[in-house]
Structure 1
Amino acid sequence: MTHKPKINKYLWLSAGKSWRFTTSTRHKLVVLFVFALCILPANLCGQSLAIKSNLLYDLTTSLNLGGEIRCDDTHTFSLSVNYNPWNFSGNKKMKHFLVQPEYRKWLNEAFTGSFIGLQVHYALYNFGGMLPWGFGNGKMLGIENRQIANNRYQGNLAGFGISYGYQWMISPQWNMEAGISLGYAHLNYKRYGQPAGAPLIEKSNCNYWGLTQIGISVVYFIQ
């Protein structure tokens, strides 16, 4: 009997995808963005606007930029985009494109203190040959490095999450933010062996419940 290799279903970042931005994919992303804008209140004009970058994602060589706008005194809408296009030696890669809109309720005042949020996420990914954040040996969240080192995962994911975070004012134009999100993601993927050019091993999917976002971000207020 042939033993079927398994993928750990409890870390969505361990998967990966090489992708093309097809017309269908672009349409999905546009629809997601337009939908996010449509759920905003109509009184956005003249409200506070901030841009931010997650320092933890920066450490992974992933390009990331977020924006957040005040809806009223205690609600904001946030949208973050992450992109990693890099190929490393030995067919190692952490390629992904992630969009994550979030609606936040602040317990005190917008951009001050604690908040809770509801978010959705959609991503294309291509992971192989290394763990996220470049871990070379041992385990991270139960994932053995050799499982990733010997395979490449490509696919897409979609899901939702609940977040909690806190912002500290550094100056009138600068804040620091720390946050964490827990939630769900459904992953569709193709698994290939290593090295580059290895044949397809399987097509499958899995469901994930757990950590969906973690961040320490620098926030700059434009308005």
Structure 2
Amino acid sequence: MAIVPTPRACAQEVALKTNMLYWATTTPNIGMEVGLGDKTTGQVFFGLNPWKQSGGDHSSLRHWVVQPELRHWFCQKFNGWFVGAHAMGGQYNAGGVKLPLGFFPALEDHRYKGWYVGGGLTAGYQWVLSKHWNFEASVGAGYIYSPYKKYCAVCRTEGKEEHRNYVGPTKAALSLVYLIK
């Protein structure tokens, strides 16, 4: 009779996480990170914002994103500094919104509906808080390709199809991490 090894979830092998910055945009999100080696982990992150804004002003920040990432830890996984490479993809339908700091001012008078795909590099740090809890800060930069349709939010007319090639920040996270034992 052959003995088949079974996968096991040990301390510092599996973590569930959520990005608190993303929650600030009313976007529920969850991630799972799994140890792949002594100093390597793989992560998959998912966020979904299906809400229409209240108030009858037709404002919307609806979108979804999936973001896989491969990480290298300098000391040990789930503790200290790491670097990684991430990919990302999703869809959006956003408009009628005034974002803080004057970011993307065209969203105030226009609605954009499209999809995106891209990737980049990540750097971050994770602090151990207790046996099961960690806190993580990370940032990423890279490239995104996004075809979309632009609509006039005020006059309700449909514009032409366009696309954007974006290079810049692609990720910002302050995450609460739960390590499964």
Counterpart-to-counterpart distance in 2, 1:194 and 1:154: 12
**Aligned pairs, number:** 172
Q: Could you say what secondary structure the match of 1:164 adopts? A: strand
Corresponding position: 1:192 with 2:151: yes
Amino acid at match of 1:201: G
- Structure 1's consecutive aligned runs of 4 or more residues displaced over 6 angstroms after TM superposition are none
Q: What corresponds to 1:87 in structure 2?
A: 52
Q: Give the superposition deviation at 1:44.
A: 9.6
2:124 to 162, 165, 168: 165
Counterpart-to-counterpart distance in 2, 1:131 and 1:212: 20
Counterpart-to-counterpart distance in 2, 1:121 and 1:45: 28
Q: What corresponds to 1:205 in structure 2?
A: 163
Corresponding position: 1:123 with 2:90: yes
Q: What corresponds to 2:176 in structure 1?
A: 218
* Aligned sequence identity (%): 33
Q: Could you say what secondary structure the match of 2:37 adopts? A: coil
Q: CA RMSD in A?
A: 1.7
Q: What corresponds to 1:24 in structure 2?
A: none
Give structure 2 stretches of 5+ with no counterpart. none
More strand by share: 2
TM-score scaled by structure 1? 0.74
Tell me, yes or no, if the aligned pair for 1:92 and 1:128 is still in contact at 8 Å: yes
Deviation string 1:58-79 (CA, Å, 9 cap, x unpaired) is 0110010000000111000000
Amino acid at match of 1:139: G
Q: Give the superposition deviation at 1:149.
A: 1.2
Tell me, yes or no, if the aligned pair for 1:44 and 1:69 is still in contact at 8 Å: no
Q: Could you say what secondary structure the match of 1:57 adopts? A: helix
Counterpart-to-counterpart distance in 1, 2:97 and 2:74: 39
